[in-house]
Each structure stands twice: as C-alpha cells, then as structure tokens.
C-alpha cells in the first residue's frame, strides 16, 4: 500500500493520486537558458545565459518565501515556477515538494507524502538534501531515505519508487546528498553509502528500474553529472577515490580514474562540449583538470594549492575556479593550469558558485554574496547578508532564471532581481 499523499493549493485542498505514462526526451546543455534551471547546478555546470543582479540588499530582494520543515536542496525552475523539497524536522516522517511563483514567491501548491522509511535528522545529518529535477511535464524528487517521486507540474503524484525497500536502506552517519540527473534513458540516482552502494536508472514514465549497477564506492555527497563525450551520453560520478563514467542506456562503466582522494563532496563538472572535466577534492594536489581524449579523461594539471570545502569547482571564462576551505578563491588558466588570481572571499561557501562567463557569483554560508569579474580577477561587489540566519542554518544552494537569483536556506528561499540595468552583470 502506498503511504498517504496529501496536496494543498491556493484554490483547492483535495488530495489525489494519479498515475500516467508519458515519453520524456530531455535535452541537455552546459549553459542553462535564461528561463530554466532544471537540475542541480542548472545543466550541471553552474552556468547561466544572461545577466543577473550584482547588488544583493533590501532593494533587490524581490521576495522571501518561508515554509514549514527543513531542507538543503537547491531550487529548480521551469516556466516561472520554482520547485523545492523539504521534510519535517527532526524526524523526517513527512516529505514535501513545493511550487512557488517565480515573480511573487506565492506558494501555488504543496504535495506531502508520508516517508516510506523514517529517519532522524540533526545539524550533522542531511535533510531533504538531493536537488530535484524538472522537465516539461514532471518534477522528480529524491529523498535521502530512498523515496523517489515523480509529480506532474500541478503537484499530482505520477509514481513513487521505494529504493530502500528494493535494495536496502542507506547506511551512514551524515545522510545522503547526491542529486539525481535526467538522461535520455531515464532518471539516474546514485546511492553511495557504507553499505552496498549502487547507481540505478528509473523509467521516467513509471518509476520502474531500467538498470542497476553496483558501485565499490563508500559514503559520498557529490552529485553525478550527465554529458555527451565522444558521441556517447554518460553519467560521470566522483566519489571515494574513484571517478567513473557510465553509459546511460545500460549502466556499463566506460572508464574509471583511481589515484584521487578527498573527492567525497565537490561534484564533477564537464564543460566545453564534453572536452573538459573538473574534479574537486578536500586534499591538496588532488583537485585537477582533465581533458577527454578519445573518450578517456587524461589529467592536464593539478592544483597543488587547494583543499576544497563543500562548493564544487566551476569552469567559466576559459578558467577553472575553486574555493578552498579557508574561503580563498583560486582561478587557474584552463589549458596551462597557471594560477592567475588568488582572492580572499568574505567567507567559505557551502553552495556551489554560478557564472554567466563574465562574472562569478559566490554564495557564502551566512548569506553574503561576492561577485567577481573573471577578466580582471577583481571583486566588483561584496554584499553582506540581507537576513540573519539561525545559528545552524546556511545558504545551501542556488538557482538562476529570468534574471533572478534564488538562494535556499533551511526553511526558506530568497529571490533577488535587478531593479535597473546598472545592477546587472553586463
């Protein structure tokens, strides 16, 4: 029996369960279009096409939506709708997917479900951490207890799959953080934990398992990225001393890189039409840039200065940018690895940065935002936090669409927009 589902909206409170079959053929780009932010880091690279606000203060704060429960996922955006996940706290017994209007911040609907497996959260255990995905017909939400749900764009549940029931619960001390990715073969979910780790592809029409590949990795919180390399669509994972590329059609490993440590949190980035692979690490001399040659990654250079924290690397403006645990930004020339700029930021970042190839935005844990000019390597704006976050709260993730920047904290979303062209990233 499926757990109880409930749904609320501004105009109606009736709950219902709807199953439907649809053929979904996602398209992928490294650079997110101005009105879309469909997955974690947009299209997976943190790049946005267009201008965004540079000033983040009360004059550019368009709205601040608060909600019950807690969550650490980033928002995703499609057609002026913002989709976010949360869970009851501290016992994650109720899982929620919410939809807000991008212009006003109004909550249009909330779909709630009783968790298939109840887990307790704390400041050191994740809560609603995986970022959902959205396409032109559905929202796909993964929760760390193994519940996966597909919802229609009005909040009606299409299907639900219990990964813990199928393959056993995740084991670990800090929960799960890897976000799912949409591929042409289906929704790919990575579950790396202290037990039997695996990667699974779910049919977007039904939630049925298309394929499952066992993994030798252990606990990790980095998210996979999907890209086409040498004409082959693949999912790339970086976790627990391994970086691996898998075919999306059957989960077969295509290549694997060992000889890396500290890669449990920063997510990989593929850029340049499948040419470059950026890998982050918490250990010095392990963060690196690779180039794909005949479909295989080859290390071009390593960053000896950097031990990264939570934020993932980003490739923008023909440079690779990484943030150290101490809040220092290192900017390297893409092809040579020459250290071009070293910039001390106001604070470390949990959320990964974003860029429009001209400017870089860094979102600090306590809510401040730094903006850097890639060409000059100089900070053009340092914005203090607009709101005071609770002691155990941080800015967990961001999204961008229609010239707006959304910042997610534990129980709310902040939306910033430019009041005039002078405040955009020209």
> Which of 72-76, 265-269, 284-288, 306-310 has the lowest average pLDDT?
306-310
Residue 387's Cβ-side half-sphere holds a number of Cα atoms within 13 Å equal to 22
What are the two backbone dihedrals, phi and then psi, of residue 422, each rounded to the nearest 5 degrees?
-65, -15
Q: Residue 263 pLDDT > 50, yes or no?
A: yes
pLDDT of residue 412: 97
Handedness of CA 305, 307, 310, 315 (dihedral sign): positive
Locate 85 and state its tokens: 């996940």
CA–CA gap between residue 408 and residue 422 (Å, rounded): 25
The domain segmentation of the chain, as residue ranges, is: 28-420
- Ordered DSSP codes for 161-221: EEHHHHH-----SS---PPPEE-SS-EEEEE-SSS--EEEEE-TTT--EEEEEE----S--
Q: Residue 8 pLDDT > 60, yes or no?
A: no
When pLDDT is cut at 50, 70 and 90, the band that residue 18 belongs to is very low
Give the CA distances from residue 50 to residues 29, 174, 194, 335, 359, in Å, rounded to whole numbers and listed in that order.
15, 37, 42, 25, 11
Q: Residue 347 pLDDT > 80, yes or no?
A: yes
**Contact by Cβ (8 Å): 390, 369:** no
CA–CA gap between residue 129 and residue 165 (Å, rounded): 20
Q: What is the CA radius of gyration of the chain?
A: 20
Architecture of the structural domain at 28-420 = 7 Propeller (2.130)
Q: Residue 171 pLDDT > 50, yes or no?
A: yes
**Contact by Cβ (8 Å): 255, 237:** no
> 108-162: per-residue pLDDT in tens?
999 999 998 887 777 777 899 999 999 999 999 999 999 999 999 999 999 999 9
> 214-242: per-residue pLDDT in tens?
998 777 889 999 999 999 999 999 988 99
pLDDT of residue 120: 74
When pLDDT is cut at 50, 70 and 90, the band that residue 10 belongs to is very low
- Ordered DSSP codes for 221-260: -PPPEEEEETTEEEEEEEETTEEEEEETTT--EEEEE-S-
Locate 303 and state its tokens: 């960053």
- Average pLDDT score, the chain: 89
Give the CA distances from residue 57 to residues 51, 60, 211, in Å, rounded to whole numbers and listed in that order.
17, 6, 47
Residue 226's Cβ-side half-sphere holds a number of Cα atoms within 13 Å equal to 28
- Ordered DSSP codes for 295-362: TEEEEEEE-TT--B-SSPPEEETTEEEEEBTTSEEEEEETTT--EEEEEE-SS--SSPPEE-SSEEEE
Instruction: Count the Cβ atoms, other than its own, within 10 Å of residue 347.
Output: 18
Handedness of CA 144, 204, 217, 298 (dihedral sign): negative
Rounded average pLDDT over 319-332: 95
CA–CA gap between residue 75 and residue 39 (Å, rounded): 8
């Amino acid at each position: 029996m499926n757990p109880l589902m409930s749904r609320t909206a501004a105009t109606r409170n009736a709950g219902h369960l709807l199953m439907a079959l649809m053929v979904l053929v996602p398209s992928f780009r490294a650079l997110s279009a101005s009105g879309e932010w469909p997955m974690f880091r947009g299209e997976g690279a943190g790049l946005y096409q267009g201008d965004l606000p540079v000033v983040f203060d009360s004059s550019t704060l368009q709205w601040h939506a608060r909600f019950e429960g807690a969550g650490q996922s980033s928002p995703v955006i499609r057609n002026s709708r913002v989709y976010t996940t949360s869970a009851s706290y501290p016992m994650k017994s109720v899982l929620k997917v919410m939809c807000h209007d991008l212009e006003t911040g109004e909550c249009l609907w909330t779909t709630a479900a009783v968790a298939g497996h109840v887990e307790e959260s704390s400041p050191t255990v994740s809560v609603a951490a995986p970022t959902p995905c959205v396409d032109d017909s559905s929202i796909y939400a993964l929760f760390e207890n193994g519940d996966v749900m597909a919802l229609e764009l009005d909040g009606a549940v299409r299907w639900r799959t219990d990964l813990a029931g199928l393959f056993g619960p995740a084991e670990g001390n800090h929960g799960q953080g890897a976000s799912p990715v949409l591929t042409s073969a289906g929704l790919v979910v990575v579950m790396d934990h202290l037990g039997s780790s695996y990667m699974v592809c779910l049919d977007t029409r039904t939630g049925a398992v298309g394929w499952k590949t066992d993994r030798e990795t252990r606990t990790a919180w980095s998210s996979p990225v999907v890209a086409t390399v040498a004409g082959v669509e693949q999912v790339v994972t970086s976790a627990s001393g391994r970086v691996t590329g898998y075919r999306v059609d059957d989960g077969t490993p295509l290549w694997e890189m060992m000889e890396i440590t500290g890669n449990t949190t920063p997510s990989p980035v593929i850029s340049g039409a499948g040419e470059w692979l950026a890998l982050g690490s918490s250990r010095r001399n392990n963060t690196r840039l690779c180039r794909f040659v005949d479909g295989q990654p080859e290390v071009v250079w390593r960053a000896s200065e950097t031990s990264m924290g939570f934020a993932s690397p980003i490739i923008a403006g023909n440079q690779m940018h990484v943030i150290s645990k101490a809040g220092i930004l290192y900017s390297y020339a893409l092809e040579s690895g020459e250290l071009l700029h070293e910039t001390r930021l106001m604070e470390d970042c949990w959320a990964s940065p974003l860029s429009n190839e001209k400017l870089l935005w860094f979102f600090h844990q306590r809510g401040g935002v730094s903006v850097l000019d890639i060409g000059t390597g100089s900070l053009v704006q340092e914005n203090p936090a607009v709101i005071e976050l609770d002691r155990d709260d941080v800015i967990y993730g961001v999204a961008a669409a229609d010239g707006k920047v959304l910042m997610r904290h534990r129980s709310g979303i902040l939306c910033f927009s430019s009041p005039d062209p002078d405040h955009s990233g020209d």
